[in-house]
Chains A and B, each alone.
Chain A
Amino acid sequence: MHITKSVNDNILKLTITGNLDVNAASKLNEITECDLAGIQELILDCQGVEEISSAGLGAILKAHRKMNTQGIMKVLNIQGVSKKIFEVTGFADVLTIA
């Protein structure tokens, strides 16, 4: 699992690779708590995500709720089993997926 951060003005892009499991969720939660000041757009690029766990869903939901108060969060390139999980759980109805 790896999360790469890149900031451009008030846009923060997180590129996630590997499994979005408990460890990755913990790291994503840390970013949500510490790195979102002044950020108006948060982009989660999930092209490299292989599997997603419930902890990963929880972390994404937390980030989404935080961004709802200060801007927007977009999820990019979600695919495969992760995409199916987003669709059947209803997460796809709540999140902005591009």
Chain B
Amino acid sequence: MLIKNPYFRSMFFYATNEKFHYTYRIMVNLKKEIDGTALRRAADITMKRYPYFAVKVEQNGEDYEIVPNDSPIVVTHGKELPYLGTEEVNYHFLAIGYEDKRIYFDVYHMLTDGGSMCPFIKTLLYYYLCDVTGLSLAPDGIRLIDSEISEEEYRDPFEMIKSYPAKAFYEYQPVKAFSLGSENRDTLGHQTSFFIKVNEKDFMNYIKENDGTPNAIASALFYRAIIRNHPELELPVVAGVAMNNMTVLNAADSYFSFVSLLHLKYISEMKDDDMRILGTVGRGMIMLQSQPENILVQTAQKPRLVKYLESFPTHEERRVAMWEVMQKAWYVDTYNVSYFGRIDWGSIGEYVDSMFGMIEAGEGGAMIEIASADGNFDFSITQSFRDDRYIKSFMELLEEAGIEFSYEGSMELMRPRVKVF
């Protein structure tokens, strides 16, 4: 049930470092003030249902192991950010915080990704809301404490692969993309998150009218927002769209984090294209790049990465090598887009106002996290700089398209740090 596969173990041990804490924060806004005592109780119950999230790292001779962690999950009041993997959070890689009407879920990305955290969040909110309301809310679609932990929840995708294709169906050729950082040097390094709630019905209609998907249209709108500020731009703008490989690998419900990036390239000849063309193009690029052979060829390379890392004698050298690999793979796109998918809150939906994911943007880039549930698309746009001109243009575009939205403010990026060993 715990992470054993050499690839996932390597990612867990080496994919974070002092410069880059590979973590994220999910902020769930409820409609009423949070009761910390009830939240504590709900957290304890929920951790029992998700034992694969209760882990710590132990030293075993020269090596390290991911082992069960029986200590309680830490629930703290206030917006202070935890240091995951350390004593202050009982060595867990997941911690919970709250203040006012907000609950924070602070997570090490190599424990699990945002999509796989959603069932956990639903379970926790269910027990919390049953407790504070005194109601027996309908449990449909929620993993309860006494429900079976199915093998699908911790399925190793590598075990599902029968054979690998000789070559990819299509290989995207990386290009030198426009960097937002090059135009925003004054405030570069001040990671800032902006929050926008978008009417789900309006946005879905707009998506349908323009032959898109949430990912394709969000990418195209942000591209338009960039062009509005840089009309003379010649360099291509590239959106790195996160794709969960687990669906292709027949392990869609597994908690392991296995995401790759698809690249939506907008060239200067597309500046004046209407949104419908951008929608079709976006979907076409997603379609072509997400063909199963492409994912399988990428997956086949993972054991080679493990071998490469293990060719370095010390853990610290492996971490440095991993950082170099990650930098080459990631920081080539202008911005990134990640859509959690639609969340069906079920009976707890009427108590939830919004949910925003926050993760560090790549150097000079921006990270757009999107969640949809109960009438809204919740956009969290984190930039690696403070300037809000692209956000303003993004909202202008929504307004011009007749899409109802509300700006929910901004804040300095809040994401926890992590120490694996």
User: Does B288 lie within 8 Å of A85, measured CB to CB?
Assistant: no
Q: Which of B260-296 contact A (CB under 8 A)?
A: 265, 267, 269-270, 277, 279-281, 283-285, 287-289
Known: A54-B211, A61-B288. A90 touches B172 (CB 8 A): yes
User: Does B285 lie within 8 Å of A89, measured CB to CB?
Assistant: yes
A91 to B283, CA, bound (A): 12
* A18 at interface, CB cutoff 8 A: no
* A28 at interface, CB cutoff 8 A: no
Residues of the A chain whose Cβ atoms lie less than 8 Å from the Cβ of B281: 85, 88-89
* A57 at interface, CB cutoff 8 A: yes
* A93 at interface, CB cutoff 8 A: yes
Q: Taking CB as reference atom, which chain A residue is nearest B169?
A: A94
Residues of the A chain whose Cβ atoms lie less than 8 Å from the Cβ of B169: 94
* B312 at interface, CB cutoff 8 A: no
User: Does A85 lie within 8 Å of B287, measured CB to CB?
Assistant: no
Interface size on B, residues (CB 8 A): 19
Residues of the A chain whose Cβ atoms lie less than 8 Å from the Cβ of B265: 88
Q: Which of A61, A85, A90, A93 contacts B280 (CB 8 A)?
A: A85
Residues of the A chain whose Cβ atoms lie less than 8 Å from the Cβ of B279: 54
User: Does A88 lie within 8 Å of B267, measured CB to CB?
Assistant: yes
Known: A53-B211, A94-B170. A89 touches B284 (CB 8 A): yes
* A52 at interface, CB cutoff 8 A: yes
A52 to B285, CA, bound (A): 14
Q: Which of B267, B269, B280, B288 contacts A94 (CB 8 A)?
A: B288
Helix, strand, loop or mixed for chain A's interface?
A: helix
User: Does B267 lie within 8 Å of A89, measured CB to CB?
Assistant: no
User: Does A90 lie within 8 Å of B283, measured CB to CB?
Assistant: no
Q: Taking CB as reference atom, which chain A residue is nearest B285?
A: A89
Q: Taking CB as reference atom, which chain B residue is nearest A68?
A: B169
0 or 1 for each of A67-87: is its CB under 8 Å from B? (1 = yes): 000000000000001001100
Residues of the A chain whose Cβ atoms lie less than 8 Å from the Cβ of B289: 90
Query: Smallest CB–CB gap between B402 and chain A, Å?
Result: 22
User: Does A57 lie within 8 Å of B170, measured CB to CB?
Assistant: no
Known: A91-B288, A94-B288. A54 touches B170 (CB 8 A): no
Query: Smallest CB–CB gap between A5 and chain B, Å?
Result: 25
A9 to B314, CA, bound (A): 65
Residues of the B chain whose Cβ atoms lie less than 8 Å from the Cβ of A93: 170
Residues of the B chain whose Cβ atoms lie less than 8 Å from the Cβ of A54: 211-212, 279-280, 283-284, 287
Q: Which of B172-189 contact A (CB under 8 A)?
A: 172
Q: Which of A48-68 contact B (CB under 8 A)?
A: 52-54, 57-58, 61
Known: A90-B170, A94-B169. A57 touches B277 (CB 8 A): no
A94 to B279, CA, bound (A): 20
A-B contact pairs, 22 of them (CB 8 A): A52-B280, A53-B211, A54-B212, A54-B287, A57-B283, A57-B287, A58-B287, A81-B277, A85-B284, A88-B285, A89-B281, A89-B284, A89-B285, A89-B287, A89-B288, A90-B172, A90-B284, A90-B285, A90-B288, A90-B289, A91-B284, A94-B169
Q: Chain A interface (Cβ within 8 Å of chain B)?
A: 52-54, 57-58, 61, 81, 84-85, 88-91, 93-94
